[in-house]
């Protein structure tokens, strides 16, 4: 196994949307689930410290947006119902703009956690994902995740799949608290956290700009194109993880 690992990357770093998981699951299941439940979730857990921390992060982000945010909803801290309404409206505003907000992603992760625990949600991965993760483990390689979704959301998705709990096959989770996905320094930070040189890490994503950033940090890269014709790219292209 050691010899096999020496001939290739020691760590495979994976994006989620379009790489391990259908994009439709995110946009047609997870995001609507969080959007529809954010108001009731915040109301019921308003005094939970972790939820209050998410609201503090959202409040601070809204203050930063105040200078130029078009259609920015108002924010009131009192009475409590006004705070609930403010948080829900700002969450919807951020979601409408597909913002990679750390506070938003954290709160969404908590909403999804409740959904997974209740059995309303089940994680989806492509069929080749469990097979590839198990194969890499046998070869002595590690697998890790880098997604704009929170680490909590990542763990929940991979622990509740139809193929069972895949988290024992994953050795690391990274989100936007590490840094933006289109900046090379984020990938350098991930390599340091993994205890590897960037060149020992292969990053797999369906987004060219993310791969460009990873390559800029010194990582190996592969563009994953699950459906349709692959775009013109100077990154190696695969149709699934079984090709790696």
15 and 86 housed in the same domain: no
Residue 230 DSSP code: P
Residue numbers of the domain that contains 194: 2-21+124-243
Return per-residue pLDDT of the chain as tens, 244 residues: 334 445 789 999 999 999 999 999 999 999 999 999 999 999 999 999 999 999 999 999 999 988 776 789 999 999 999 999 999 999 999 999 998 888 999 999 999 999 999 999 999 999 999 999 999 999 999 999 999 989 999 999 999 998 899 999 999 999 989 999 999 999 999 999 999 999 999 999 999 999 999 999 999 999 999 987 778 789 999 999 999 9
23's tokens: 């994009």
203 and 226 housed in the same domain: yes
The residues near 176 (Cβ < 8 Å, ≥ 6 apart) are 100, 102, 105, 148
Instruction: Name which of 151, 206, 215 is nearest 177 in CA terms.
Output: 151
Strands 201-205 and 220-224: parallel
Helix (H, G, I), strand (E, B) or coil at 74: coil
Q: What pLDDT score was predicted for residue 3?
A: 41
Q: What pLDDT score was predicted for residue 8?
A: 86
Q: What pLDDT score was predicted for residue 69?
A: 65
79's tokens: 């009475």
Q: What pLDDT score was predicted for residue 232?
A: 79
14 and 63 housed in the same domain: no
90 and 137 housed in the same domain: no
129 and 14 housed in the same domain: yes
239 and 129 housed in the same domain: yes
9 and 85 housed in the same domain: no
User: What is the DSSP annotation of 34-65?
Assistant: HHHHHHHHHHHTTT-HHHHHHHHHHHHHHHHH
9 and 97 housed in the same domain: no
Which of 118, 134, 153 is the last residue before a domain boundary? 118
Residue 124 DSSP code: -
115's tokens: 């959904």
Cα–Cα distance, 138 to 211 (Å, whole number): 26
Domain total of the chain: 2
239 and 128 housed in the same domain: yes
Identify each DSSP E strand in 36-187 by its residue range: 142-146, 173-174
Predicted structure pTM score: 0.85
Q: What pLDDT score was predicted for residue 228?
A: 77
Phi/psi of residue 110, each to 5°? -70, -35
44 and 16 housed in the same domain: no
What is the CATH number for 109?
Answer: 1.10.720.60
Helix (H, G, I), strand (E, B) or coil at 201: strand
């Amino acid at each position: 196994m050691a010899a096999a690992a020496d001939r290739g990357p020691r760590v495979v770093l994976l994006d989620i949307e379009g790489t391990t998981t259908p994009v439709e699951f995110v946009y047609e299941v997870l995001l609507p689930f969080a959007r529809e439940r954010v108001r009731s979730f915040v109301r019921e857990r308003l005094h939970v410290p972790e939820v209050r921390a998410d609201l503090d992060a959202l409040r601070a982000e809204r203050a930063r947006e105040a200078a130029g945010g078009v259609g920015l909803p108002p924010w009131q801290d009192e009475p409590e119902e006004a705070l609930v309404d403010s948080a829900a409206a700002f969450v919807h505003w951020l979601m409408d703009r597909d913002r990679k907000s750390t506070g938003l992603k954290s709160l969404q992760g908590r909403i999804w956690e409740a959904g997974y625990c209740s059995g309303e949600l089940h994680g989806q991965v492509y069929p080749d994902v469990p097979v590839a993760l198990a194969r890499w483990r046998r070869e002595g390689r590690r697998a890790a995740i880098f997604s704009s979704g929170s680490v909590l959301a990542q763990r929940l998705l991979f622990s509740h799949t139809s193929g069972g709990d895949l988290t024992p096959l994953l050795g690391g989770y990274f989100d936007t608290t590490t840094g933006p996905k289109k900046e090379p320094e984020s990938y350098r930070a991930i390599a340091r956290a993994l205890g590897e040189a960037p060149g020992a890490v292969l990053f797999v994503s369906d987004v060219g700009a993310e791969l460009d950033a990873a390559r800029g940090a010194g990582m190996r890269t592969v563009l994953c194109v699950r459906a349709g014709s692959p775009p013109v790219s100077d990154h190696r292209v695969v149709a699934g993880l079984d090709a790696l």
